Structure 1
């Protein structure tokens, strides 16, 4: 198979989730419904946090950041409208870059939110001093900058690859792993960076989350009052549920890819981390957090009264 230089590559072919054309309208309708639920749910969280002064604290500042990231997460709906969807080379790399930015940003924000809960429960008297406005803004900005740098490194390395003639991607969106499989040139540096970043990018935030909650549980168990324990745990339940959903779906995709060689099945599994967590996050926080439920009902009734 003759290699083709990346400058000659003009487009990729996305094969979608299924080869059955009759299923395409069903999948498209499903994805539209999920995207609208994601958009509406996360937008409500952002608006409620902004409109209610009682929610103007670090915990809900980071929650609104997380909801904003979920709103901005790249929309891949256009790629499943047809069985075979053509996407330009630039468009594909742009999609890869943005998917990595928002996935990395969500990963970092979950770790920052765990640190916020650690400070609030383990150092309550110093909470307002440590988690001040400057610190919160700096943590959010640092998360964004590191996510952008990570995504740009991978994207720039892809630009130096040569591709074969067969440019079919058995997926419904452009994913870095699928792009690397199509390359005819040496991808060792790309894979070294992928494994290194996956270890650091995944290991450090997850280790931070585990450390934070180890300290939180230890601190809560030492509390003499049952009421104090009951008050401390609800502030963590929603975040733990979101963390479990985010990392659980990602690990599920990698485990499924290790046990199956079907690109279609891997693409279906990828739906779990690329769509489901972003849709479920606002429901988890609104249903399991009393601080959000009250203002949310007030905000919705105010809108409906107009």
Structure 2
């Protein structure tokens, strides 16, 4: 079966396994489109995106347009005459004339079971909301935000100890497998096309600073899920003695016990400290004081002389 001529559009690490799969399975990747190099770190040196690093490894043609809506970029892609454009966490919305270019359409690999969690942060929000399942959906792209007709869905469970980081790694590998199946069906002419039910849609918007703030009046399970959902980036935080404290790992002690002082330390353990919430208690296991590295919560207790009765804001 003839392999589809592809243009690959992606930027972060999540997209790399799909590019690896295309090369491994012999798809002709005519160009890789990724975001321009960005300053990074204390030295603000220009850094390549993970997709650019992979494309350089495979000696593929690389395009890094500042704006994919301009005529120069359109003409470059039109000259390639791709059968399909594959888009995975690219970082810009595609204009309609790009969507209309490839004969077999533009295919997106999305990290949720659509129509649930449309948007830019589906992995984070699945964990934050305490979901037990996630997955990958491939779809034909249209002008909406993750509203296109679905091709293949594949589900994977979310374990109680999963973080956004661990679920991300599961889904990026699953994405490559689902994309491979999708392209084979498209080439064979038997790819399904299933409309999404907009009434059932939920959304995964960009994270904001207020999302990251721990509200100790929330139940223990909600705080625990928030911490998991913001690990390894950007991190859930609270205040201790007017300084920022990030919380990276927690364990629920009791989900339902009534509490009188949410945010109050009520116990010191071998591994950390137990804090009251709006409903139940939670043990802090890994924290990061302002301007410091991550540390075990038991070391934080010793180093900052925490005692029972201390309050987190």
More helix by share: 1
Q: TM-score, normalised by structure 2?
A: 0.26
Which is higher, the Rg of structure 1 or of structure 2?
Answer: 2
Q: Larger RCO: Structure 1 or Structure 2 (Cα < 8 Å, ≥ 6 residues apart)?
A: 1
Q: TM-score, normalised by structure 1?
A: 0.27
More strand by share: 2
